[in-house]
Amino acid sequence: DTGVSQNPRHKITKRGQNVTFRCDPISEHNRLYWYRQTLGQGPEFLTYFQNEAQLEKSRLLSDRFSAERPKGSFSTLEIQRTEQGDSAMYLCASSLSSGGLIGKTQYFGPGTRLLVL
């Protein structure tokens, strides 16, 4: 079990550029989540997938943000026309689709730290 992986780990970009992050969940996990964490804050939910279906999106996920999970395995999060306020850690998590506590327990990746200049 290799855990949740995210790439790249760090990204520096200029305002107005597009960036894309990738998340590979734990192999048997059907659910995948994206969170954003700014300095001094806890993670905030952005969106989640059950297999390839995107089932919930936070209002934090503006039109410039899009997430996909085309084959129900890895996921990508794209930010278009980046703004300085997008600077944050973007965390991915995954969980099994079981019921109860097991299905509710999320395992996190190391995150992608984005800095928009």
**Which residues here bind another protein, judged by CB under 8 A?**
31, 33, 35, 40-45, 48, 55-56, 58, 91, 95, 100-101, 103-111
> Which lies closer to another protein via its Cβ, residue 80 or residue 103?
103
Q: Counting every residue, how long is the chain?
A: 117
**What distances in angstroms separate CA 58 from CA 8, 47, 62, one per listed residue?**
23, 6, 9
> Which lies closer to another protein via its Cβ, residue 40 or residue 85?
40
Rounded to a whole number of angstroms, the minimum distance from the CB of residue 93 to another protein is: 8
> Which lies closer to another protein via its Cβ, residue 35 or residue 65?
35
> Which lies closer to another protein via its Cβ, residue 25 or residue 109?
109
Rounded to a whole number of angstroms, the minimum distance from the CB of residue 4 to another protein is: 8
Rounded to a whole number of angstroms, the minimum distance from the CB of residue 80 to another protein is: 23
Rounded to a whole number of angstroms, the minimum distance from the CB of residue 54 to another protein is: 12
Strands (E) located in the chain: 5-7, 10-13, 19-24, 31-37, 44-50, 53-57, 65-68, 75-79, 88-95, 107-108, 112-116
**Based on the number of CB atoms within 10 Å of its own CB, is 6 exposed (0-12), middle (13-18) or buried (19 or more)?**
buried
